[in-house]
C-alpha cells in the first residue's frame, strides 16, 4: 500500500528476550495519516495472557473513550515519537475485557471537544 507506512503490533517478550507478535493491525486502504480512527486490534482468541484492545487515532486527541453496553471506558494514550499527531491507545484489560467489541469510540481534544 503506497500510503500506508504505519502498523501496530501487540505481543510479548519471552524470558530470553525474544519478541513475538500476537496481533498486527494496519490500514488496508487509504492513507495511514488521514485524520480520525484507524484499525482497532481485538484479541480474537482466548489465551492465558490476553491482549488489550488497541489502535491509533490521527489528530489532537487528549482522551479516547470507548463504549460497551452503554458503559464508558477510558483508554490509555501515548503520542508516537515520530509523529505527534498519531495517538496510540489501548484499553486496560481490567476495564475492558480483551476481545470484547466496542459499541462506539470517540476522541476528545484538550478542551473536551469531540474530534
Please give the grid coordinates belonging to residue 61. Answer: 486527541
Tens of pLDDT, residue by residue over 30-80, are: 889 999 999 899 987 766 778 899 999 999 999 999 999 999 999 999 999
Q: Which residues contact 66 (CB under 8 A, 6 or more apart)?
A: 53, 72, 73, 75, 91, 96, 102, 104, 105
pLDDT of residue 57: 97
pLDDT of residue 42: 92
Percent of the chain with pLDDT over 90: 72
Lowest mean pLDDT of 10-14, 16-20, 82-86, 88-92, name the range.
10-14
Query: What residue segments make up the domains of the chain, in order of their start?
Result: 7-108
pLDDT of residue 5: 87
Amino acid at each position: 500500500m503506497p500510503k500506508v507506512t504505519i502498523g501496530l503490533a501487540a505481543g510479548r517478550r519471552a524470558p530470553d528476550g525474544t519478541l513475538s507478535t500476537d496481533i498486527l493491525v494496519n490500514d488496508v486502504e487509504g492513507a495511514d495519516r488521514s485524520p480520525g480512527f484507524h484499525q482497532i486490534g481485538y484479541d480474537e482468541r482466548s489465551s492465558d495472557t490476553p491482549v488489550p484492545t488497541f489502535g491509533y487515532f490521527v489528530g489532537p486527541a487528549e482522551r479516547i473513550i470507548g463504549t460497551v453496553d452503554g458503559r464508558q471506558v477510558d483508554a490509555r494514550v501515548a503520542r508516537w515519537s515520530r509523529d505527534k499527531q498519531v495517538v496510540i491507545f489501548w484499553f486496560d484489560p481490567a476495564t475492558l475485557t480483551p476481545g470484547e467489541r466496542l459499541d462506539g469510540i470517540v476522541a476528545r481534544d484538550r478542551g473536551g471537544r469531540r474530534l
